[in-house]
Structure 1
Amino acid sequence: MIEISPPDARMLARWFPTRSPGPATIGEHVLATGIGSWWADTPVRPSAVAVSCAGHVVLRGSPEHLTPDLLAPLAGNRVETPARFLPALGAAFDSLTPWERMVWTLQATPQPATVPHGVTVRRLEPADTEALHALGPAASWLSASWDGPLGLAASGHAWAAVHRTGHILAMTCTYFRGTGYEDVAVYTVPDRRRHHLALACVTSLCADITSRGHTPSWNCSLHNRASRLLAWHAGFRLVREYVHYAVGSPVAHRRLSA
């Protein structure tokens, strides 16, 4: 695929659904923040277009003209796309692994969560950047859609349970910000799990999202029981399921190195 300039909002609506939960929020997030990339099979009048951010890709259009070389830039990502693209993806990469996913939206009142003494749930600010860095590699994915810890801390879309020492114990954020829905992501440090801190953070973030006139959404693996339980306790309910595909290394590159 060839990297292209961002389309305008009308072009986005032509290729990708808008104002709906799930992968649709990726294109809206990239268009609004400029974080991510747009791709097409040709720079003029493309028949296939993709948008990528934080290791996620949404691919739409027609696969008719897609070759392994054109698809190679999408290597290593998780691709959400109609079934008609699967033969082209299977021919382009050395692996194509389906992941069953679930999309939830906030529909019920969250269960109450008690925050322990010495912990405050609050919105993160730029001054919290170092505390985000201190969470280490295990939490680095959380800020990928905001171009890193500074971008996330300054976004105004992250809430955390912060110990009086300044350490972040749990946090949540809008991972992809759409025009109708905001997709929620969450992380808790390992020794603070099952303390209801994540629930308290998610509840605060959801109140913030709804105050903007948006609806919180939740996207997780079908097999991630902990995420499903947290979503349920926070008031989310299942609306649909879908599959995205983790793609491996480009077959075209493998042939060249053989």
Structure 2
Amino acid sequence: MIEISPPDARALVRWFPTGTPGPATIGEHALATGVGRWWADRPVQPRALAVSCAGHAVLRGSPEQLTPGLLAPLAGNRFEAPARFLPALGASFGRLIPWERMVWTLQAAPQPAAVPHGVTVRHLEPADTDAVHALGPDASWLSASWGGPLGLAASGHAWAAVDRARRILAVACTYFRGTGYEDVAVYTVPDHRRHRLALACVIALSADIAARGHTPSWNCSVLNRPSRLLAWHAGFRLVREYVHYAAGSPTADCFAGVRNREDRHARTASGPCF
């Protein structure tokens, strides 16, 4: 695939479903925030389109012209795509691992979540950027969909449990912001887990999302029992299940295809036409 400019919002509706929970929010989030990359099989009249953000990719259109080399730039992503794309994905990457996922939406009242004395649950602010950095590499994924710690802290879409030293103990944020749903992500520092701090943050964030006229949603692996329990306690209920695919390194055929395609598109100056 070649990288293209973001599509017009009206064109997005034709390629990706909008106003629905789950992976569909990735395209809406990338379009609204500018965090993410857009890809097409060709710059004019594309037949396949993808959007990638924070290690996730949503692929739509027709796979019929997708040779292995076309998908090579998207290696390392977790793909959500219709089943018709599986032969092309399997031919493009040396490893393609299915990962069963669950989509939940907020449908019930949450359980109570009192926080310890000296801990405050509040919005993150730009001044909290260093505190987000201090969460370390294990939490770096949390801010990836906002372009990094500053983007998350300044987004207005994150709530944290903070101690008196301004250290973040737990944080819940909108990971992908759609037009109807906002997908929630949570992280708690290891030595403060099982104290309902994450639950308190999710409750505050969910109220914030509802005040924006949106519905909180939740996306997790079927094997992630702690995430499922937290979702349930916060009032989320299962809507559907789906499978996405973790792609490894490109196959040898991919690299040859990439070189040929780069030579071909180096001579193309036209912008995308949707």
Q: TM-score range by the shorter chain?
A: over 0.9
The residue that corresponds to 1:116 in the other structure is: 116
- CA–CA distance in structure 2, aligned partners of residues 164 and 254 of structure 1: 52
Could you say what secondary structure the match of 1:146 adopts? coil
Superposition map of 1:2-17 within 5 A: 2-17=2-17
Deviations 1:117-161 (A, max 9, x none): 000000000000000000000000000000000000000000000
Per the alignment, in what secondary structure is the counterpart of residue 145 of structure 2?
Answer: helix
Count of paired positions = 256
* Aligned mates of 1:181, 1:255 — CA distance in 2: 38
Whole-Å Cα distance in 1 between the matches of residues 46 and 166 of structure 2? 49
Name the structure 1 match of 2:217: 217
- Structure 1 stretches of 4+ moved >6 Å: 253-256
CA distance in 1 between partners of 2:75 and 2:9 (Å): 27
Matched, 1:30 2:42: no
Which residue of the partner structure matches residue 134 of structure 1?
Answer: 134
Partners of 2:143 and 2:209 in 1: CA distance: 18
CA RMSD of aligned residues (A): 1.0
1:188 match? 188
Task: Tell me by how many angstroms 1:211 deviates.
Answer: 0.2
Matches within 5 A, 1:168-187: 168-187=168-187
Which 5+ residue runs of structure 2 have no aligned equivalent? 257-274
In structure 2, the partner of 1:102 is: 102
Q: Which residue type is aligned with residue 37 of structure 1?
A: R
Normalised by the length of structure 1, the TM-score is 0.98
Amino acid aligned to 1:87:
P
Structure 1: distance between partners of 2:88 and 2:230: 37
Describe the shift of the 1:255–1:10 C-alpha distance in structure 2 as closer, same or farther (beyond 3 A). closer
Identity of aligned pairs, percent? 81
Q: Is the 8 A contact 1:68 1:252 kept in 2?
A: no
Which residues of 2 match residues 222-241 of structure 1 at below 5 A? 222-241=222-241
Task: Tell me, in whole angstroms, the C-alpha distance in 2 between the residues paired with 1:254 and 1:74.
Answer: 11
User: How far apart, in 2, do the equivalents of 1:3 and 1:231 lie?
Assistant: 36
Matches of 2:38 and 2:11 in 1, distance apart?
12
Q: Secondary structure at the match of 1:155?
A: coil
Q: What residue number does 2:251 align with?
A: 251
String of CA shifts for 1:77-128, please: whole Å, max 9, x gaps. 0000001000001001000000000000000000000100000000000000
1:44 and 2:44 are equivalent in the alignment: yes
Report the AA paired with residue 156 of structure 1: G
Deviation of residue 252 (structure 1)?
2.9
What stretches of structure 1 of length at least 5 have no aligned partner? Answer: none
In 2, Cα distance between equivalents of 1:181 and 1:39: 24
CA contact (8 A) 2:89 2:96 kept: yes
Contact 2:174 2:184 survives alignment (8 Å): yes
1:10 to partner: Cα distance: 1.0
Give the superposition deviation at 1:255.
6.8
Contact 2:38–2:52, Cα closer than 8 Å, also in 1: yes
Aligned equivalents of 1:208 and 1:183: distance in 2?
A: 13
